[in-house]
Amino acid sequence: MPRIPVNSNERLSLRIAAADKSLLMRAAALEGKDLTEFITRTVVSAAQKVIDENERIELTARDSMIVLNLLEDPPAPNAKLIAAAFALPKRS
């Protein structure tokens, strides 16, 4: 099986039950990949999904309208916001 070259190789060691390793090896073979490639692609994909789900905010239609209305017609700054603005360092 051809290996995909990578710019840097980092080693990762982990302990896994024999039954789980056999399962992973079988799945990799069914996809025609070696175990390292199968695990890397699967885990990286799962990690990206977790990150996307936790870093993205999905708004309802109602919430979207509220945000758009606030952007178009923002409320007047309150005392805390004005104080924070004056506390910022002056730009030169």
Q: What is the pLDDT of residues 12-35, one digit of tens each?
A: 899 999 999 999 999 999 999 999
pLDDT at 10 over 90: no
For the full predicted model, state whether its pTM sits above 0.95. no
Q: From CA 52, how far away is CA 92, in angstroms rounded?
A: 38
Q: What is the pLDDT of residue 2?
A: 55
Q: What is the dihedral of CA 50, 26, 40, 20, to 10 degrees?
A: 60
Q: Which residue segments constitute the domains of the chain, with CATH numbers given? A: 9-92 (1.20.5.780)
Confidence at 3, pLDDT banded by 50, 70, 90: low
